[in-house]
């Protein structure tokens, strides 16, 4: 049985500790082999990037975009010791993340039998303030915008044909992504669709 989890965490030693404004993650790319995550976050805090650049868990601030009183920060965060890294390594489905009042709020889907172990591991990173669990009852696979883009381009360019008309590196270049990021979103899209078929079509 799949469960949807909404978890609130005070993450010790993370840049999120000192953030009082609401900060939303709008894109997340995972590079475990390079030891970092690349995140795009949205906030109304004008000096967020300058403060983040001084935090030890932030490897580099790539770029800052300003628009209508909000900033988007594109940055690299350490993989080890991050909640996203832990969830990715446990192959859960991350639905979303935001930070508010110095706390991280994560929404993800995991198997019921994995929850106690996941909580124990997450507790090693910080204090779990709240953890709410409910049955995960999805409609048709809830693909992210990037997963939809990757899937659409892969199908239209013959990536699922046999023999393939295009390889992963070529598709990644078309989408202006790294090969690792392309494969990450491609794998997530596949997992969501196959899980849906297994649970609701083949049942």
The number of domains in the chain is 2
Q: Which domain holds residue 161?
A: 145-201
pLDDT number for residue 78: 93
Asked if residue 114 belongs to a domain, the reply is yes
pLDDT number for residue 13: 76
What predicted TM-score, i.e. pTM, was given to this entire model?
A: 0.66
Burial track 178-197 (b if 16+ CB lie within 10 A, e otherwise)? beebbbbbbebbbebeebee
Domain shared by 191 and 126, yes or no: no
CA distance 85 to 81: 7
Domain shared by 182 and 164, yes or no: yes
pLDDT number for residue 139: 65
pLDDT number for residue 201: 55
pLDDT in tens, 103-131: 999 999 999 999 999 999 999 999 999 99
Yes or no: say if 37 and 79 are a contact pair by the CB < 8 Å rule.
Answer: yes
pLDDT number for residue 12: 79
Last residue of some domain: 83, 110, 135? Answer: 135
Domain shared by 86 and 149, yes or no: no
Last residue of some domain: 91, 116, 135? Answer: 135
Yes or no: say if 165 and 157 are a contact pair by the CB < 8 Å rule.
Answer: yes
Yes or no: say if 157 and 166 are a contact pair by the CB < 8 Å rule.
Answer: yes
pLDDT number for residue 22: 87
Domain shared by 129 and 41, yes or no: yes
Contacts of 203 (CB under 8 A, 6+ apart): none
CA distance 48 to 198: 43
Identify the segments of the chain with pLDDT beneath 70.
138-139, 199-203
Yes or no: say if 51 and 128 are a contact pair by the CB < 8 Å rule.
Answer: no
Best CA proximity match to 23, nearest among 79, 102, 78: 102
């Amino acid at each position: 049985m799949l469960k949807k989890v909404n978890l609130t965490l005070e993450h010790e030693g993370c840049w999120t500790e000192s953030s009082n404004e609401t900060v939303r993650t709008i894109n997340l790319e995972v590079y475990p082999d390079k030891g970092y995550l690349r995140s795009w976050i949205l906030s109304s805090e004008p000096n967020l990037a300058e403060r983040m650049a001084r935090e030890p868990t932030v490897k580099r601030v790539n770029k800052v975009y300003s628009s209508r009183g909000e900033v988007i920060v594109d940055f690299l965060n350490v993989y080890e010791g991050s909640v996203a890294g832990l969830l990715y390594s446990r192959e859960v489905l991350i639905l979303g993340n935001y930070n508010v009042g110095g706390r991280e709020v994560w929404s993800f889907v995991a198997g019921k039998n994995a929850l106690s172990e996941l909580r124990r591991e997450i507790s090693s990173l910080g204090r779990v303030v709240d953890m709410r669990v409910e049955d995960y009852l999805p409609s048709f696979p809830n693909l992210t915008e990037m997963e939809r883009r990757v899937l659409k381009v892969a199908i239209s360019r013959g990536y699922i044909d046999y023999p393939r008309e295009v390889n992963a590196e070529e598709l990644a270049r078309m989408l202006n992504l790294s090969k690792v990021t392309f494969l990450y979103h491609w794998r997530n899209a596949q997992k969501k669709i196959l899980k849906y078929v297994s649970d609701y079509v083949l049942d």
